[in-house]
Amino acid sequence: MPKDRVLVTGGAGYIGSHTVIELINNGYEIIIVDNLSNSSPDVIPKLKEITGKMVSFVNLDIRNKLALQTFFKRTERIESVIHFAALKSVNESVEQPLAYYENNIQGTINLLEAMLENKVNSLVFSSSCTVYGSPDHLPVTEMSPLGHTPSPYGYSKQVCERLIHDTVHAHPELSAISLRYFNPIGAHKSGLIGEVPSGPPNNLMPYITQTAAGVREILSVYGDDYNTPDGTAIRDYIHVSDLAAAHVSALSRLQSSDKPSGVEYFNIGTGKGSTVMEVIRSFEKASGRPLDYKVVGRRDGDIEAIYADASKSKEILKWSAQYDLDDMTASAWTWEKNYRGIN
Ligand code: NAD
Ligand code: UFG
């Protein structure tokens, strides 16, 4: 007897695809809705290969309200939604703010309306530690104040959290959890799925693996004059499979009678900060090859340091990260090698 049927928006993407595996392995039935704007249909057969189960996939753009409403009406027995579908590039959002607001905010509004109309009452939302802005105190807890987010992308996450909060307040039958991801990196242990950035990566880990694979010439380290042990910025990197597992815990929480009404917020990180140089060293150890890098100036909008207090997730979701930084960089390299056909 399968558990709930879960609608996964953006399930063909990087975090969504890893989460689908965890959900199927935990007995959930899955329907992916994705417009493939930042993913490939090739991931669907890979999910079947990894899990041994069929994965339903519908090519649909959640900005299309009518198509989304029709999908909900025609699809029986959706119990919960995990909402990954969003545009996620910080730089691109500065250049195309309206595209980001339309996709991320209008998409979420359409989804909430369709859920209410079809009495689907459980939602897990993909939020980000970017909502904390540049924090005054570390580690950040869920009670830390939301900060200034310079990019439209970051602001769209704050707005979505607020509109989910207000909708749940007005419709108490709806229950939601917002997971604030720290920095997801790495790939599934099968090496069959992983992160595939379109164009030059903005993020550290894919830039490192693509440099080692010879796709990029050299990694630029953005600043070594921060007030950190080696001068490079600190982030809380989290293995994408650990992050995926947090969604299984969030769904269980939504179904438990212990969950208070309203929205609950959880930090999903390891609780440990690593500098850019520590990530590079870990990668060099995992890959057994030196990485070409040069230190350049700070990147606009970057913050010095952020890492999670993840104790609320441990206590309430019964979730904590299992993998360390070396596991993350090793799995990222395995994926890059497989993807590029490198031995
Ligand atoms: P991704 O781009 O790999 O996945 C997002 C998926 O959503 C893609 O498959 C894309 O095609 C789909 N999509 C986008 N707009 C859509 C639309 N209008 N209709 C249907 N499908 C649409 O990104 P990801 O890294 O897997 O991120 C997933 C979620 O997690 C996003 O909400 C992102 O903002 C959030 N998040 C990501 C990170 C990160 O560093 N990767 C950190 C914090 C939060
Ligand atoms: N960095 C480099 N060189 C690069 C890329 C990054 O030195 O080529 C540095 C950055 O300056 C930063 C660190 O590596 O100090 C991490 O940078 P990322 O771009 O990988 O990650 P960010 O913390 O800047 O942002 C990411 C996502 C956001 C998300 C945030 C929190 O891009 O969307 O994590 O989840 F909100």
Q: pLDDT for 72-120, tens place per residue?
A: 999 988 999 999 999 999 999 999 999 999 999 999 999 999 999 999 9
The confidence score (pLDDT) of residue 1 equals 54
pLDDT at 343: 83
Tokens at residue 339, please?
A: 């993807």
What is the distance in A from the centroid of ligand 2 to the CA of 204? 6
Give residue 303 CA to ligand 2 midpoint distance, Å: 9
pLDDT tens for residues 226-268?
A: 999 999 999 999 999 999 999 999 999 999 989 999 999 999 9
State the Cα–Cα distance between residues 170 and 66, nearest whole angstrom. 23
Condensed to tens digits (0 to 9), the pLDDT of residues 117-146 reads: 999 999 999 999 999 999 999 999 999 999
* pLDDT over 70 at 2, yes or no: no
Ligand 2: centre distance to CA 235 (Å): 8
Report CA(122)–ligand 2 centroid distance (Å). 31
Model pLDDT, residue 198: 85
Q: How confident is the model at residue 8 (pLDDT cuts 50, 70, 90)?
A: very high
Please give the residue that has the higher pLDDT: either 150 or 157: 157
Instruction: State pLDDT tens for residues 167-205.
Output: 999 999 999 999 999 999 999 999 999 999 888 999 999
The ligand minimizing its distance to the Cα of 197 is 1
Q: Average pLDDT of the chain? A: 96
Instruction: Give the length of the chain.
Output: 343
Per-residue pLDDT, averaged over 301-311, amounts to 96
* CA nearest neighbour of 19 among 110, 85, 82: 82
The percent of residues above 90 in pLDDT, for the chain, comes to 94
| Among candidate residues 306, 237, 241, 220, the one with its CA nearest the CA of residue 278 | 237
Ligand nearest to the CA of 218: 2
Q: Which atom of ligand 1 approaches the CA of 184 most closely?
A: 40
Is 307 among the catalytic positions?
no
143: which 2 tokens? 């009670």
pTM exceeds 0.85, yes or no: yes
For ligand 2, atom 5: residue with the closest CA: 204
Q: Of 67, 167, 149, nearest to 109 (Cα)?
A: 167
Question: Tell me, what's the pLDDT at 76?
Answer: 87
In terms of DSSP H, where are the helices of the chain?
14-25, 43-51, 65-74, 90-95, 97-100, 107-117, 152-170, 204-212, 240-255, 276-287, 311-312, 325-340
Q: What is the mean pLDDT of residues 157-161?
A: 98
Ligand 2 environment, Cβ below 6 A: 88, 90, 128-130, 181-183, 202-204, 207, 219-222, 233, 235, 276, 299, 302
User: Atom 26, ligand 2: which residue's CA is nearest?
Assistant: 183
Mean pLDDT, rounded, for 148-170: 97
Ligand with smallest separation from the Cα of 220: 2
